[in-house]
Chains A and B, each alone.
Chain A
């Protein structure tokens, strides 16, 4: 018997870490230059110089400033949605659990739409999104059968909760003023990174960063979530606290993302699964990989959304076009070989 096997690596390899860090930076830099108003690397270098020396601003500077804001927001939301998808998949022991399929995104959207209807500013919108996002995940958990759960149970419960909140969103739209409130709710629901201001980001970003940090630190122990209850308890870790920490972080991240850039779907499904195919299902690797790949993915998709056509395409349309077929592929694979969990 070969009993002198070497201890395998648990974390990501240095090469993988390097690629994962460079990718979003590279995409981010490219995204600064790409768009309807073309910016050359020379313009960029000039803008950086002027920023530090305080020279008089040119037209390119404003464009770069605007793009920079979007890129940071895209990176934050991409990383956040991907990592919360990863956490939800562990929590629900279900590879199809995501902020969208669990109804969290719909709940948060309803909360935000309600706040817009009632004329709230950025802070009430975020608070309301957080509150209803949390309510949605709790409802989904309560309505999905806990024992003998097939992979579809939580997703079915999520779809019910999702349609409930979608109905409520329609109600809000129905009640909204057609000249003023309705267009802003509708446009915002489609998901856009355009409307985000530095002030809005200052409120939403800390929650996302804290959530990502906590999930990142918990990454190894998050693996315990996918064990059976008795097994997980027998590890000696307080599973109740671990579950609550993971749910709170993932939900806060999702709700903050929704409150800043609307309902951007599918990221929480696509990115963790692509990473799972490459790095395996251990959260020790999956969480950091999802964070960086999510950021890179979202920057790429948002850049495409604003530069493919003359008018900006809502980013959620692009993610859905990529996401829906991928979801079907996963469902079929799931039934075929007993799971990618």
Chain B
């Protein structure tokens, strides 16, 4: 099920557009982040998509069917909404909350059927919170509550899930649990769209990112190409560094804000042409398709590819060689690293003649 926005616009007051001529497509199985400074219209956009607010113009469609003219029961069996976990449903237990995700089904006087109850429980199980079934939401931690709210959305068996800042106000561990959950849902074929204040999450986890600026300016595309130092300066007014952090056996791309941007934007430095070998250990077979799609989109810069299964360990090894500007290699590495079940490392060396071939750099 494809969610498409075409030339969509919205403003609260005439002449002050919040969203202007926005056109994006969201395919099944995609994890999409919406980023932007406060007041740039992230939540407004989500509310417009869900028909809580009326677009001023444009077409917002689900598989070519206009969302604004869909009957609610039809729309909400396809889209599910996860609000911010702020003091909601305090008196209900996790099970009762998850079960409310099924309220749109059946006649208005009906009570939940066995099937509804099973769906609610299996949603709780899938998110690992079934043991909380009898706990009141008001007595849960923020992370648990957020998982229960996602379970409620999941119980409706949607094709698209829309989440409002799901990992805000959570600690490190719970942020990771939520992000892992979203990655898993997307890997299972559901499109997940979420607002976030963390560019690093968008960079390291999502397929596509939408950057919004107050006034309606936007950028949409592959997260690795959209989340750049230049764009963060442009959209957030912050000088930030994007780099890799090495951990035990893994490396992560991250975004570190340094200071408020001042003066003119520094001229973009070309990264310089490099030769790169990107090595991947693929632990989950489902990742192969996504990796192939990413490599396909970068086919112009690839000069070689070697793959082999290593059956005893149940993994596949894939090495690709690329020759391109360093920025492009970084973007490719980031895209590949965001795929679930893949470990990626890249070795580069300057490709021009004057460079010292012996000095390799780990990215």
Contacts and interface: CB of A to CB of B under 8 A. Distances in A.
Interface of A: 1-5, 7-8, 10-11, 217-221, 223-224, 226-228, 230-231, 233-238, 241-242, 280-282, 284, 338-341
Contacts of B109: 217-218
Contact of A236 (B88, B91, B103): B103
Contacts of A8: 93, 95, 133-134
Contacts of A282: 91-93, 96
Range for the number of chain B residues in contact with chain A? 35 or more
Given A236-B75, A236-B103, A281-B91, A231 B108 contact: no
B235 to A, nearest CB: 26
Contact of A227 (B75, B100, B134): B100
Contacts of A11: 111
Contact of A3 (B76, B112, B131): B131
B101 interface: yes
A284 B95 CA distance: 13
Interface in B294-324: none
Interface of B: 47, 50, 52, 72-73, 75-77, 79-81, 83, 87-93, 95-96, 99-101, 103-105, 108-112, 117-118, 121, 124-125, 128, 130-131, 133-134, 136, 138, 156
A220 B128 contact: no
A10 B136 CA distance: 14
Nearest to B117: A7
A223 B92 contact: yes
A7 B112 CA distance: 13
The interface centre, meaning the residue of B83, B96, B105 with most chain A CB atoms within 10 A of its CB, is B96
A236 B156 CA distance: 10
A341 B76 CA distance: 26
A220 B112 contact: yes
A223 B72 contact: no
A231 B91 CA distance: 16
A197 B133 CA distance: 50
A218 to B, nearest CB: 7
B131 A2 contact: yes
Given A236-B77, A238-B72, A282-B96, A227 B89 contact: yes
B149 to A, nearest CB: 9
B96 to A, nearest CB: 5
A280 B130 contact: no
Contact of B108 (A3, A5, A237): A237
B130 A340 contact: no
A338 B96 contact: no
Contacts of A221: 103, 108
**8 residue pairs, one from A and one from B, having the closest CB atoms:** A236-B104, A236-B76, A281-B91, A234-B81, A217-B109, A2-B131, A5-B130, A235-B103
Given A5-B130, A217-B109, A234-B76, A228 B88 contact: yes
Contacts of B111: 10-11, 219-220, 284
Nearest to A213: B109
Nearest to A1: B128
B130 A3 contact: yes
Given A7-B133, A233-B72, 13 more contacts: A5-B131, A8-B134, A10-B95, A11-B111, A224-B100, A230-B83, A234-B76, A237-B103, A237-B108, A280-B91, A282-B91, A284-B111, A341-B90
B112 A339 contact: no
Nearest to A220: B111
A1 B96 CA distance: 20
Given A8-B133, A223-B92, A228 B83 contact: yes
Contacts of B104: 235-237
B77 to A, nearest CB: 6
